[in-house]
Amino acid sequence: MTDKYAVIGNPISHSKSPQIHQMFAEQTEQDISYEAILAPLNGFVATIDRLREEGYKGCSVTVPFKFEAYKLATPKKNKSFPARFAQSANTLIFDVNKSLKINNTDGDGLIRDIRKNWAFKLKGKRVLLMGAGGAALGAFLPLIKSNASIIVVNRSVENAKIKTDNFVLFPDIPKSYLKKSKYTDNAKKEPQVIGYQSLLGHKFDLIINATSSGLSDEMPPLPPTIFAPNALAYDMMYGRETPFMKFARDQGAQVADGLGMLVEQAAEAFYLWRGVRPDTAAVIAALRNSA
């Protein structure tokens, strides 16, 4: 019997997730269906309830429902640590006993893309994370785990401090999550948060744009001297060159978009659902060739 999954968002017609999971299923010989579902802005919970009643095994969650999805799971044990830290979820698992488990695979997808597909070693590198929204919070914890040196920059320093201080104040960071990290015994290291005006004189090996600036074709106020030699500029957006990507290219940095992150986070969700990890390189290549 075919197991049913879906991605839920608003809007959703642009989503590549059905195509990605179809390729995963064919590659791993899994009997599943995966569709895109448009949920009303005030009807996310009702949509999830309907899918569970109809026997779906799980779903992906995208904009604007990730924070709402986080609130669905109780008790606490049904919320993964990355989801609890980011206070958002992008992967829901519907168990046979009708319980609901949530996870956030965005951060792990980002790190896997940077390390595996871009062959970029994070340990000891100076990383600038732009933004303090859900995308940035999803990336923050895996970056800490990777032993990179992180500075968060945001237009509102106060807002970013409130959110990143969740890491400092979090009472129960699992040591298993921070295994082999320099933060295993010192998991309360305070993150450094600054404003854009304080970036002059800094250089970074990796700059990650986790803001929505690309949606409005805006360029974050970065100084042209921000990139260290052989730096990687990573924009979580995909499908077009953003002003940040053009700026980085003009400064001689290597440039990456978020397509690999999209595929890698989907692969992590697929693994949680099916217990098998697909080959993401083949899927990324297929999507780039079809663009």
Q: What stretches of the chain adopt beta strand conformation (E)?
A: 3-9, 32-38, 58-61, 91-94, 100-103, 126-130, 149-153, 192-194, 204-209, 227-235, 254-256
Which of these is catalytic: 16, 66, 79, 101?
Answer: 66
Residue 139, both tokens: 């990336």
257/16 Cα distance (integer angstroms): 15
Q: What SS3 state is found at 81?
A: helix
Beta bridge partner(s), residue 208 = 129, 234
Alpha carbon distance, N-terminus to C-terminus of the chain:
33
Residue 132, both tokens: 């303090």
> Residue 65 in contact with residue 15, Cβ under 8 Å?
no
260/242 Cα distance (integer angstroms): 16
Q: Which of 50, 226, 64, 187 is nearest to 133 (CA)?
A: 64
Q: Is 57 one of the catalytic residues?
A: no
CA-CA distances (angstroms) from residue 190 to 148, 149, 226?
A: 14, 11, 23
Residue 276, both tokens: 């098998």
53/68 Cα distance (integer angstroms): 19
Q: What SS3 state is found at 130?
A: strand
Q: Catalytic residue positions?
A: 66
